[in-house]
Chain A
Amino acid sequence: MATTATKQIRIVKNGGPITSDVYMAYYSAGTAATEDWYKGDILHLSATGKLARADGAEGSGVYGTATALDNDAPWDAAHKWFIALSDHDSSAEGKSVYVPVQEITADTVFEIQLAASSTTAPTQANVLLGVDGYGAYTSTTGVWGLDVDDASNGMFVVVAKSSDYSPFIAETGVAGTAGSGSMVYAKLVGNIIL
């Protein structure tokens, strides 16, 4: 049974530079919620040099459905990656505007909840430290989870489990549908970082 994440990504250490007047949001004459994001979402610097949500190619994010991401665009190529520091409403802005972001570098460690696009239980026992590149599974509300059912596509590498960094509290996450949805520390896989 698929299980989505309910807790957002947060950078816990080695976050990159914080900027609010360097990168502009992608804008395509205005429409869609596919260009909006909420703070805490992962963004990427697209081929047009604009920031766009990372759950789809520039301007085609897929809020509203639970989505398994692996080597799909934009994760099929190296990019600069960011965490959004504030919500962004593309149609309200009506143009491409500067947005506050923090860069995710190769050293950046963030906490992410385990999710499952298929049937594996989203527990710490089902992920390996520092070995596989896991895919992502985003929820209907755009919360990012590390997909325990996809260990073959290089997005996230687990660097610590909450049983290590928070040893006295067994599980901290409660996933969207079923399972425990444990938390882990992860980095982005190095070869997708520009």
Chain B
Amino acid sequence: MADFNKTASAKSAIRASGSDIHTSENFKLALARGLDMVWKRDFETPKQGMNLLFEDSIKQETASYQTFRTLGGVTPQNRDADEMEFITRADGFGFTVKTYNFRQAIAIERTLEEVDDVGVIRGLQADLAENGKMTIEYAIADMFNRGVNPSNAPVLADDGMYLIDTDRPNANPAAGTWSNQETASAITPTSLWTAQLNARQMTDENGRLYPQYIKKLVIRPDDEKTVQEILNSQLDPTNAMNTTNTMYKKFEYIVYDYLTDACIYYLMDDPKSEKNEARFYWRVRPGFETWKEQPDVTNQRVRFAFGLGLGCPRKMFRGGEVS
């Protein structure tokens, strides 16, 4: 009889062997006789975080960066016979990038290689590479998930503040402080308008007007529906008064799937341009090495080293908590 009324019943989790070497016992089910098909279930996911950082490379384990700045800003009125005024310069803020090593390996017993007729050890190098990519993805995501008003963060900007923060010092003390953090708010046409207005009213490190323009929004998946409605409605979708939606087709947006913190980022330029001082520093790009400690156990490892650095987010990032 056909059974078209199956009842769901969760299977128990499959136990792992706990060994640090792949042996045939690890894959007892897959290597069993009489199976019609065996395959490894992969969870490769698209990588997104690197699109928000400028990629660079350094040779040192720890590298220091220093900025300098020009004092003044306008040319003085000065007749030819008068004494000339000279531009002066001064140090700006600096920051340090520390790189870290990452390594992981696999070990395969030769017997498994011999009896593996279904490919259980095929693609192990790809697994190492995938783990490396995910390490980078999570490292970058960590930077953005702890970027808006956090209690601590993996990197600080050159001014000693978080990626998105208030009361940021300027290198020129006379310029007072500045902020790239919006007031916590739900995403609405008004909140986007305010963010755009605040971007246009930004100041440089001498305190002079330095207008910036929001180009893209970076949002978490939870906010996609809201943002899509706001950016694609001619009338304000948040009220029933038929008022004009000033944000209609105003910005592009990126859904950053690894952004889990309730926040929104505003990009004011192309993150792949030199203006982006949120940077990913490669010291060693991923490399693979195969070796044997004894003839019948094959080892392979992936190794890479990178660090994250943040100069000044002024030209690139604004943001705020989403309530």
Residues of A within 8 A of B (CB): 8-15, 18, 20, 38-40, 83-87, 100, 102, 110, 167-169
Q: Does B26 contact A (CB under 8 A)?
A: yes
Which of chain A's residues have a CB closer than 8 A to the CB of B109?
A: 18
Which of chain A's residues have a CB closer than 8 A to the CB of B21?
A: 15, 18, 102
The distance from the CB of B220 to the nearest CB of chain A, in whole angstroms, is 17
Known: A18-B23, A18-B109, A100-B25. A86 touches B17 (CB 8 A): yes
The distance from the CB of B182 to the nearest CB of chain A, in whole angstroms, is 26
CB of B20 within 8 A of CB of A12, answer yes
CA distance A39 to B26 in the complex (A): 9
CA distance A12 to B176 in the complex (A): 52
Stretch at the interface among B72-80, B133-141, B230-238: B133-141
The distance from the CB of B199 to the nearest CB of chain A, in whole angstroms, is 30
CB of B138 within 8 A of CB of A39, answer no
A-B contact count (CB 8 A): 63
Which of chain A's residues have a CB closer than 8 A to the CB of B15?
A: 8, 38-40, 87
CB of B17 within 8 A of CB of A168, answer no
Secondary structure class of chain B's binding surface, majority of residues: loop
Interface centre among B18, B25, B154 (most CB of A within 10 A): B18
Interface string of B98-113 (1 = CB under 8 A from A): 0000000000010000
The distance from the CB of B64 to the nearest CB of chain A, in whole angstroms, is 22
Which of chain B's residues have a CB closer than 8 A to the CB of A14?
A: 20
CB of A110 within 8 A of CB of B28, answer no
CB-nearest residue of chain B relative to A40?
B18
CB of A83 within 8 A of CB of B18, answer yes
CB of A102 within 8 A of CB of B141, answer no
CB-nearest residue of chain B relative to A143?
B15
CB of B19 within 8 A of CB of A18, answer yes
The distance from the CB of B21 to the nearest CB of chain A, in whole angstroms, is 6
The distance from the CB of A18 to the nearest CB of chain B, in whole angstroms, is 6
Known: A18-B109, A86-B28, A168-B142. A39 touches B23 (CB 8 A): no
Which of chain B's residues have a CB closer than 8 A to the CB of A38?
A: 15
